[in-house]
Structure 1
């Protein structure tokens, strides 16, 4: 009897997880419809350490919009950190304070990815960002291949980057 209850609750939990995943993906698809789908026209970014990041035209690029005040962004930051060790990744902190404040935030969490500080939301307007986090993946020719709003798992990000890198 006890075993049947556990199996019953496990099935219900699995159903809820699958249902919530489906809803999250539908919401992400809906929110991503308004993103800027044009090819990337930006060739360099000014990072918070005052260096310039030149886009490498031989590899795909992930651009990740986030904010220090965004709880989902905090959850996803370790995914972005890991991905940045293997691929070209530029992150854009939006309305997150001064360069010093963003740098302190990164240091507290042991994050080392490249960061642009979008204090006036200029870049987020260009990309038409409405929610955070938002992630764009461009191919070697700077054409948009994936645009997604919301949390993405490490596996999901790696799979998308692999797809763009090897199959495009």
Structure 2
């Protein structure tokens, strides 16, 4: 019995290590499209009319920046976690190619998302930031990129990145 438990534990640990290494490698490969050096300015107005200045917001505290789309299947699984994060941390989201303001607001209301959203109907901001995959999450602190990931991300993964920033 003990040998079976040990074997199952070794298999689980091996799988977790493998997934972690692959995830880090994929994030590294995808990060090649990100801007080099200083990050682009992200100063815009949210759908609720709040002015967002990422440089100022990230002074001393990490900010989770989330590039997503209402059309993105994976975002349907990541957005609820981002919504939870917004209750505890500074979060700024950018809706890429999701339609005009009224359409994005209706989408947010339907899903009961409370996170702040900058609408980017033509993906201009996404292009400046080198976003080629949705969802993309970044942790910015003091105007510097601390963590980056693209694709599916879990709530614990987001939480960990914010705490480590």
Measured against the shorter chain, the TM-score band is 0.7 to 0.9
- Give the 5 Å matches for 1:66-105: 66-105=68-107
Q: Give the Cα separation in 2 of the matches to 1:65 and 1:80.
A: 11
1:38 aligned residue: 37
2:136 to 134, 137, 152: 134
Aligned position for 1:64:
66
Q: Which runs of 5+ in 2 are unaligned?
A: none
- Distance in structure 2 (CA, Å) of the matches to 1:58 and 1:22: 30
Q: For structure 1, which segment, 27-36 or 112-121, has the greater mean C-alpha deviation from structure 2 after superposition?
A: 27-36
Question: Are the aligned partners of 1:37 and 1:144 in contact in 2 as well (CA < 8 Å)?
Answer: no
TM-score, structure 1 normalization: 0.81
In the superposition, the TM-score normalised over structure 2's length comes to: 0.82
**How many Å separate the matches in 1 of 2:126 and 2:115?**
19
For the 8 Å contact 2:108–2:114, the answer to whether it is kept is yes
| Structure 1 moving runs of 4+ over 3 Å | 13-25, 37-41
Which consecutive residues of structure 1, in runs of 5 or more, have no partner in the other structure?
none
Match of 2:157 in 1: 156
Alignment of 1:100-139 (within 5 A): 100-139=102-141
Length, aligned pairs only: 160
- The whole-number CA distance in structure 2 between the counterparts of 1:42 and 1:16 is 39
Instruction: Give the root-mean-square deviation of aligned CA atoms.
Output: 2.6
